[in-house]
Chains A and B, each alone.
Chain A
Amino acid sequence: MSAARIWPKLMKRERPSLSIKILAPLVALVVATLINLLLYLVMGKDPVAVFHAMILEPFISFPSFSEVLLKTGPLLLIAEGLAIGYRAKVFNIGAEGQFIIGAIFASALPVWYPMATGQWIWPTMLLAGAIGGALWAGITAFWRVRLRANEILVSLMLSLVAAQVLNYLLLGPWKDPNGFNFPQSVMFQYDAMVPLIIPGTRVNASLLIAVALALMAYVFMQKSFMGYKLEVGGLAPRAAGYAGFSEGRAIWLSLLIGGFAAGLAGAAEVAGPIGQLQRSISTGYGYAAIIVAYLGGLHPIGIVFSSVVMAAIYIGGDNALVSADLPIAAVRVFLGSLLLSYLMAMTFVRYRLVFARQAIGGAT
């Protein structure tokens, strides 16, 4: 093969490299940062200013860091739910829609009963949101299990539908009558808001819920028999079938958990920093969470770290928009290149590069 003389070859490692698995997200982050800074240079932006605003600022200024924590909550929640499915090879990419439906379900209470009071309101809203998200994901599960339709396409299409449902409510029945015709609901009452946990910031109790659920995900996926069954049910349906585990159940469970978590995140957004239902409740959290899940190695603890990183990229992007005049679309470019870099880096967990000269001398 003459091609082997020019191109280095990939050789399978005897065992996957754990150190590369841990290093891969960091390498990907560095590579994506460098490529994107180069892009900003080409665009005529000052890369040093962008680097400062985007990468340093979120961590060195406390107001900025508190916003990072605020954004970590929804990303962590959604990504933990998605990762459980991805490990079972159920590719739910419709978290965006499940998030929106969760926000809608949660908003129903304060929109219909704006005068209600009591500490029960916000927990009820969160629960309603989680159920709404799970129901929406349940449609995908039904389509996948009963009709055998591809869950990637169905869940994505449902996200596009969910965005239209939101538009319909905000322009029609749920529009604030005193809102100067803006597409938004009434502002929610005080008891509809999740309590703040760090005074002087917008960080609220939903972050604690997210962390608690991350720990539960850890126990479920890494320690419980149920989590093991789920993973096997998705990875090797035939083998799992012989052992009495059902593929269908793995799909239902994966999607319901994913939808529940995303719906909860949506509810926490409207009952938290936003305080009403509006069009911009999600700035692509559902899609960003896919990247968070992969970057965290689909591991419940890894995802805790990757969600903080992703939240910082969001906040850093906002900072760079203000201080370095960087278009917000640059964040999406950064996210895409980050995931791609990570996936490429992950290749070297299983393979190593062998250059031509070595290959000729070697056993191959």
Chain B
Amino acid sequence: MIALEFILSGMLAAATPFLLAALGELVGERAGVLNLGVEGVMALGAAIAFIIVYHGGGHILAFAGAGLAGALLSLLFAFAALGLQANQVAAGLAIGILGQGLSALFGKTYESLTVKGLQKLAIPGLSDLPVVGGLFVQDIVVWLSLAATLAIWTTFAFTKTGLLLRAVGENPKAAHSIGYPVIAIRVAAVAFGGLMSGFAGAYAATVYTPLWADGMIAGRGWIALALVVFGTWLTARIFLGACLFGAVSLAGLAAQAGGVELPSQLLASMPYLVTIIVLGIISSNRRLLKLNGVASLGEPFKP
């Protein structure tokens, strides 16, 4: 019971970096662009945010800086992959390597330093409930991420913007022929993805574990990419997937605290192993992927 309480209260915070990055990637992929650079964009955002908070700039400025840096780095990807028609897979990898390099370069003198995270806000009443009470005591970014999830779900479900994004991803030729600026819409979607990945990195480095270590993103950007597939490009499922990963990353700690003897390396590998297994299960269901997949994902388009 204690383990369950522990997981429930920490799950949303652990899920937030996955969720923010995956939501950003979702918007880009819905528009037909596969950006494999998420890990590097998150790493850059994390470094920028940490440096800003460390020097007393505060969390608002830190998130703004990280989001801006993430968007700019992703625009560089967009320039190569959409403007110049470069290979999308390779350009994404290049951005990822560049982002991780810049992150290590900027963060070098901050190794092992810590900053102060954010205070948790409790929802009165609900937070006093037994067992599930912890779910309702979260920092402001978690609450905002939930709002962002809802906003993106609404956008895709009900708005013209959502429809436009999907049209551009499903059939860019048709969208172009009825006069929509396909490339411009895709560039905007990629920039939004970069913004969200920057936020995700900022949250990881200045709120969730407010301590700088090179390589602290530790594959979370790649898991976010996998989450978009797990969620079969649907916002609600991506949210559930992110929560699952939040829980998985805490379950190990809970097991250890409960006296279960597991090598720490197995615990560290758990999110990766779960990703591989779930990816296998979801991908083998062709119907599911065909139903919701993006028809022209990763395909170049030249007007």
Interface set of A (CB-CB < 8 Å, partner B): 10, 43, 91, 93, 143, 146-150, 152-154, 156-158, 160-161, 164-165, 167-168, 171-172, 287, 290-291, 294, 327, 329-337, 339-340, 343-344, 346-347, 350-351
A-B complex: 10 closest residue pairs judged by Cβ atoms: A336-B98, A332-B101, A329-B104, A333-B101, A336-B97, A339-B94, A343-B86, A149-B283, A168-B265, A347-B84
Evaluate contact between B284 and A148: CB separation under 8 angstroms. yes
Contact assessment for A157 and B104 in the assembled complex, using a CB-CB cutoff below 8 Å: no
16 contacts between A and B (CB under 8 A): A143-B283, A147-B284, A149-B279, A152-B89, A154-B280, A157-B226, A160-B218, A160-B222, A167-B268, A327-B108, A332-B100, A332-B104, A336-B100, A339-B93, A343-B91, A350-B85
Cα separation A156 to B219 with both chains bound (whole Å): 9
With A153-B222, A153-B275, A160-B272 as contacts: A336 and B108 at CB distance below 8 Å? no
CA distance A153 to B76 in the complex (A): 23
Which of these, A147, A167, A291, contacts B283 with CB under 8 Å?
A147
CA distance A330 to B276 in the complex (A): 32
Bound-state Cα–Cα, A43 to B214, Å: 19
Question: CB distance B86 to A329 under 8 Å?
Answer: no
Residues of A within 8 A of B116 (CB): none
B49 close to A (CB within 8 Å): no
Measured CA separation A335–B219 after assembly (Å): 19
Structural contact, B283 and A148, CB atoms closer than 8 A: yes
Chain A residues touching B, majority SS: helix
**Contact B85 A347, beta carbon cutoff 8 Å:** yes
Task: Identify the closest chain A residue to B108 (Cβ).
Answer: A327
Contacts A154-B279, A343-B80 given; indicate if A10 touches B85 (C-beta within 8 A): yes
Q: List B contacts of A10 (CB < 8 A).
A: 84-85, 302
**Closest approach, in angstroms, between the C-beta of B289 and any C-beta of chain A?**
8
Interchain CB contact under 8 A, A339 and B280: no
Cβ of B272 and Cβ of A340 under 8 Å apart?
no
B93 pairs with A330, CB closer than 8 A: no
Alpha-carbon distance A330/B100, docked complex (angstroms): 10
- In the bound complex, what is the Cα–Cα distance between A168 and B90 (angstroms)? 32
19 additional contacts (CB under 8 A) given A161-B276, A340-B98 = A10-B84, A147-B281, A148-B286, A149-B284, A152-B36, A153-B226, A157-B279, A160-B219, A167-B265, A168-B263, A329-B108, A332-B105, A333-B105, A336-B95, A337-B94, A337-B98, A339-B94, A346-B86, A351-B85
Chain A residues, Cβ within 8 Å of B90 = 290, 294, 339, 343
Closest chain A residue, CB of each to CB of B229: A150
Taken together as a complex, chains A and B put the C-alpha atoms of A164 and B283 apart, in Å, by 25
| Inter-chain contact A143/B276, CB cutoff 8 Å | yes
| Shortest distance between the CB of A78 and any CB in chain B (Å) | 15
- Distance in Å: Cβ of A282 to nearest Cβ of chain B: 14
Whether B86 lies near A347 (C-beta < 8 A) is yes
Which residues on B sit within 8 Å (CB–CB) of A340? 76, 80, 91, 94-95, 98
Task: Check if B236 is an interface residue, CB within 8 A of chain A.
Answer: no
Q: How many residue pairs, one in A and one in B, have C-beta atoms under 8 Å apart?
A: 143
User: Does B155 have its Cβ within 8 Å of any Cβ on chain A?
Assistant: no
In the assembled complex, the Cα of A146 lies from the Cα of B275 at a distance in Å of: 17
Q: Complex: how many Å from CA A168 to CA B269?
A: 11
Task: Report whether A147 and B280 are in contact in the complex, using a CB–CB cutoff of 8 Å.
Answer: yes
Q: For residue B269, which residues in chain A have a CB less than 8 angstroms away from its CB?
A: 160-161, 164-165
Residues of B within 8 A of A149 (CB): 276, 279-280, 283-284
Q: Interface of chain B, helix or strand or loop or mixed?
A: helix
In the docked arrangement, what's the CA distance between A346 and B222, Å? 27
- Complex Cα spacing A331 to B225, Å: 26
B87: interface (CB < 8 Å): yes
Task: Write the chain B residue with the least CB distance to A158.
Answer: B276
The residue on A at minimum CB distance from B281 is: A147
Q: Is B210 an interface residue (CB 8 A)?
A: no
Given A149-B279, A327-B108, answer yes or no on A333-B102 (Cβ-Cβ < 8 Å): yes
A327 in contact with B275 given A148-B284, A340-B76 (CB within 8 Å): no
Q: Contact: A330 with B263, CB < 8 Å?
A: no
B212-242 contacts to A, CB under 8 A, are: 214, 218-219, 222, 225-226, 229
B99 at the interface (CB under 8 A from A): yes
CB neighbours (8 Å) of B218 from chain A are: 160
CA distance A172 to B266 in the complex (A): 13
B residues near A291, Cβ cutoff 8 Å: 94, 97
Chain A min CB distance to B99 (Å): 7
A290 to B214: give the CA distance in the assembly, Å: 22
In the bound complex, do residue B276 and residue A154 qualify as a contact, i.e. CB atoms below 8 Å apart?
Answer: yes
Chain B residues with CB below 8 A from A168, complex form: 263, 265-266
